[in-house]
Amino acid sequence: MLRAMADRPDAAPAARWIAPGDLGAFFALALDNLTNLVLLASILVGGFGFPADVFATRMVPGTALGVMVGDLAYTWMAMRLRHATGRTDITAMPLGLDTPSTVGMAVAVLGPTWLATHDAMLTWHVGMAVMVLMAVVKTAAAFAGDWIRRIAPQAGLLGSIGGVGVALLGVLPLLHLFEAPIAGLAALGVVLYALIAGLGLPRRIPGALAAVVLGTALYYALGAAGEQPGFHWPTWHLAAAAPVPTLGFLDGLDRAIDFLPLALPFALLTVVGGINVTESARAAGDDYRTRDVLLVEAGATLVAGLTGGVAQSTPYIGHPAYKRMGARAGYTLLAGLFVGIGGVLGIVQFLTEAIPAAAIAPLLLFVGVEIVSQAFDVPPRSHAPAVVLAMLPSIAELGRILVTMVTGGAVPPGGAATAHTLDVIAHGFIVTGLVWGAIAAELIDRRPGRAALWCAVAAALAATGLIHSTLPSGALYWPWHAGARESLTIAGAYLALGAVCVAAAGGRATVPASAPEA
């Protein structure tokens, strides 16, 4: 149908906003979003034991609505740009669920809240409240996105999210992959061949599609033969549910404030990512206004949060690839409608249950590999040690998550001190990684004064619990709160680190770093 519409003589040029290339692009964008929802379900329902019915009927519809609103807005923006320029080859910006923060919400917000309260509705409300907070931050940051990108060294910004790629998108998906190793490793083989190595499959079959289909087929074949432990058939019914605007997020706002150290950096990272993606689209020939792109993603996140959603949306890296596929504005229209309407009718919920986590895990590994590769490729080569340093807090967060999942939140016998130290390192891990990477990058560039300023920032953040919160919940606090001695000690340690940076420089003038000698 798309080809017929594009080729009809009487449809040119009016119908050229949709083209045959939109079909392949639609599948790729829809699968990206579906992958994130499957991941969210596998971690939250499969890993933490969260009630599947609440997830399907409360969380998914609003999350899907946010994606639909964002993609429809980007479709309209492409049509507007096409009309303004007179060009018929305008490609819409792709939008979907942000993978790192989807994982972060599952393992660091929703899962722990559920384990602590065993109250499904409160957990849902906390997730909504965190979404609303992220939307507020993203809206404000849309007007200051370029400034944020300028002051934060790439090693800290990309290294901290690279740590998420290693820990949350690397190790955690491996756990699901090896729950069904035959299906998982077969799907991983396709991902390695087609996506990581970039080798073409026969008949130009999309690598992501082939991986999911092969992994799913093997999983069900082995399950039907009785050779897949823990196998069960999906529930063959559609759980239809409409996303309804609600003020339920107000009930979770008090607890949500405690998750600001996680929500704030994830929100800012999508803003910076949106700036980079817009520049990428501009380089490919589609000159979108950066502020408009950022405000749409903030608005989509707000809509999701106000209607029950628990995962934020973001512009996807990949506009040039979709353009090379021949996509115009049809693919975002189709993907948005598929995800949004599918979430209402229960189709998306059914697919998140029917597609095994082992078939999706390799795609998440691919995303993680790409994020980590970018963290090393984009910053200067001399900043590689800073990138590694920025990743370490995420590794601590992984350890904290695994300990929590294994012990159910109980303190391991004889390990109270170690568990507490791990919590302190992990709390606010994204921001901590950014600051650590920034300090190291500034020193590598022979700027101890700027490194000392980052140390002062870290001290202020530690004094309020935005990083290294000393409370088990990771909550924020005033510097003079009861039991503040430990947090103030950590803040003082960062100030001492800054003093060391300045004193070691001996008052010498700072100069840009040269390449280290071999």
Which of 151-160, 321-330, 427-436 shows the highest mean pLDDT?
Answer: 427-436
Other CB atoms within a 10 A radius of the CB of residue 80 amount to 13
Looking at residue 518, its pLDDT comes to: 32
Task: Tell me, yes or no, whether 265 and 127 share the same domain.
Answer: yes
In angstroms, rounded to a whole number, what is the distance separating the alpha carbons of residues 452 and 442? Answer: 9
Task: Tell me, yes or no, whether 347 and 452 share the same domain.
Answer: no
Whether 71 has a pLDDT exceeding 60, the answer reads yes
Residue after which a domain boundary falls, among 371, 399, 415: 371
User: Tokens 């079959």, residue?
Assistant: 205
Peptide bond into 448 cis (omega under 30): no
Q: Is residue 212 part of a domain?
A: no
Q: Is residue 321 part of a domain?
A: yes
- What tokens were used for 59? 């969380």
Task: Tell me, yes or no, whether 421 and 306 share the same domain.
Answer: no
Q: Is residue 513 part of a domain?
A: no
Q: How many domains does the chain have?
A: 2
Looking at residue 6, its pLDDT comes to: 43
Task: Tell me, yes or no, whether 270 and 407 share the same domain.
Answer: no
User: Tokens 């009927």, residue?
Assistant: 57
Closest CA to 491 of 457, 459, 456: 459
Q: What are the C-alpha distances in Å from 320 to residues 251, 281, 287? A: 42, 6, 12
pLDDT in tens, 473-513: 777 788 887 778 899 999 999 999 999 999 987 755 444 44
Q: Is residue 191 part of a domain?
A: no
Diameter of the chain measured on Cα atoms: 77
Q: Is residue 57 part of a domain?
A: yes
Task: Tell me, yes or no, whether 392 and 362 share the same domain.
Answer: no
Residue after which a domain boundary falls, among 352, 371, 390: 371
Looking at residue 410, its pLDDT comes to: 64
Using 50, 70 and 90 to split pLDDT, how confident is the model at 166?
A: confident
In angstroms, rounded to a whole number, what is the distance separating the alpha carbons of residues 200 and 22? Answer: 20
Q: Which helix (H) or strand (E) holds 315?
A: strand 313-315
In angstroms, rounded to a whole number, what is the distance separating the alpha carbons of residues 409 and 395? Answer: 18
Task: Tell me, yes or no, whether 330 and 420 share the same domain.
Answer: no
In angstroms, rounded to a whole number, what is the distance separating the alpha carbons of residues 47 and 110? Answer: 11
On whether the CB atoms of residues 409 and 116 are closer than 8 A, the answer is yes
Task: Tell me, yes or no, whether 104 and 137 share the same domain.
Answer: yes
Task: Tell me, yes or no, whether 361 and 394 share the same domain.
Answer: no
State mean pLDDT over 464-468.
88
Q: What's the whole-number average pLDDT of the chain? A: 85
State mean pLDDT over 18-24.
78
| Orientation of helix 485-505 relative to helix 448-464, angle to 10° | 180
Task: Tell me, yes or no, whether 157 and 270 share the same domain.
Answer: yes
Residue after which a domain boundary falls, among 371, 395, 429: 371
Task: Tell me, yes or no, whether 329 and 359 share the same domain.
Answer: yes
Using 50, 70 and 90 to split pLDDT, how confident is the model at 392?
A: very high
Looking at residue 197, its pLDDT comes to: 87
Task: Tell me, yes or no, whether 323 and 423 share the same domain.
Answer: no
Looking at residue 235, its pLDDT comes to: 76
Looking at residue 14, its pLDDT comes to: 43
Q: Which helix (H) or strand (E) holds 119?
A: none
Which of 4-8, 95-99, 318-322 shows the highest mean pLDDT?
Answer: 95-99
Task: Tell me, yes or no, whether 284 and 393 share the same domain.
Answer: no
Range of the domain at 492: 381-505
Q: Is residue 258 part of a domain?
A: yes
235 or 442, which is more confident? 442
In angstroms, rounded to a whole number, what is the distance separating the alpha carbons of residues 318 and 280? Answer: 9
Closest CA to 451 of 437, 468, 467, 439: 439
- What tokens were used for 461? 């953040």
Q: Is residue 238 part of a domain?
A: no
Q: Is residue 203 part of a domain?
A: no
